[in-house]
Amino acid sequence: MLPKRLIVFVTTLALLASAQADDHGNTWRGVNLDQQFGIQFEICQLKPGKALSDIAKLDDEAQRLFGINAPDLSLMRLTPMFSHGMPGGTTVSYIDVTMGSIESFGKGWDNWMASKDASKLMANSDKVASCTFKFARAVNRFVNPEALDASDDRLISMNWCSKRENVSWNQLKAKHDAWQAAYEDDSASMAWNIVIPRLGAGNQNGRYMHMVSYANTQQLMANENWVANGDGGAALQDYYTAYGDCDGESVWNASYLYKGDS
């Protein structure tokens, strides 16, 4: 779910861009969080007869090649915990998420595509799962670097939203900023980022994803308890009814495969 007492608010691409001008003074793993940074989603579905253990056999080589070709980028693997998948439906098996500065993505991809070992790794990965790549930009709205660095494991929630037609972008931004100012110091989460689809966006183009990191399930459920038994339920319903048309949150287990140079 969302950070404790922090309701998801949607903003336009232009407003998201202006958000980076806020002076948070944030730098983490060598990335200036006062600027929009790059985030890549490799969305994968396992092929028949394959398991996560099969892709895990390639992790050591992926770590080695990241260190050579993309040392400034970080790589995490996400597996579903509370997903949108329903019985009988097609689900995502896992998502490999890469994060870093936009400049580092340019260098990293050029190095990766020129590497014979990386090409071999990609071919071996393709034998295990069918994957598509999506590149996006992200704006950080809240971060607790000490908490993020305390563990390589975490939970990540994702919630895609679109603006309600009767609400102006300025109204959304004002509400967004007000809640951040009021509640970021009371957040149960470790980080809150707004993701802006860019390359390979498909039908998510023009939408936004709120991506929140939690240290553990206790933090996640503290927020759930606030929604269920505190003021969160009414506030969240007000937002969904009056401000944002959102898909609802999915939650993923996340673990680092490679940490970029800081």
The answer to whether position 2 is within a domain reads no
The contacts of residue 134 (CB under 8 Å, 6+ apart) are 40, 41, 42, 43, 197, 199, 200, 201, 202
Res 21: pLDDT: 37
The answer to whether position 218 is within a domain reads yes
103-124 CB burial, b ≥16 within 10 A, e <16: ebbebbbeebeeeeebeebbee
Q: Residue 178: is it exposed, middle or buried by C-beta count within 10 angstroms (0-12/13-18/19+)? A: exposed
Domain that holds residue 254: 13-258
CATH number of the domain to which 248 belongs: 3.30.70.100
**What is residue 210's three-state secondary structure?**
strand
- pLDDT of 175 higher than 60: yes
**pTM of the model as a whole:** 0.85
Res 124: pLDDT: 97
**pLDDT classification of 132: cutoffs 50, 70, 90:** very high
More confident residue, 155 or 147: 155
The answer to whether position 236 is within a domain reads yes
**pLDDT classification of 158: cutoffs 50, 70, 90:** very high
DSSP 8-state secondary structure symbol assigned to residue 260: -
The answer to whether position 6 is within a domain reads no
pLDDT in tens, 91-117: 899 999 999 999 999 999 999 999 999
The arithmetic mean of pLDDT across residues 164-176, rounded, is 81
Res 15: pLDDT: 41
Specify the number of domains making up the chain: 1
**What is residue 255's three-state secondary structure?**
strand
Res 45: pLDDT: 96
Tell me the average pLDDT of the chain. Answer: 84
pLDDT in tens, 17-54: 444 334 445 777 778 888 899 999 999 999 999 999 99
Res 26: pLDDT: 72
pLDDT in tens, 201-257: 877 777 888 899 999 999 999 989 988 998 888 878 888 898 889 999 999 999 999
> For residue 54, how far is the Cα from the chain centroid?
24
What is the C-alpha separation between 5 and 225, in angstroms, rounded? 11
The answer to whether position 202 is within a domain reads yes
Q: Which residues pair with 100 in a beta bridge?
A: 38
CA terminus-to-terminus distance, the chain: 29
Nearest 5°: phi and psi at 176?
-55, -55
Residue with tokens 């990386």: 118
Res 90: pLDDT: 64
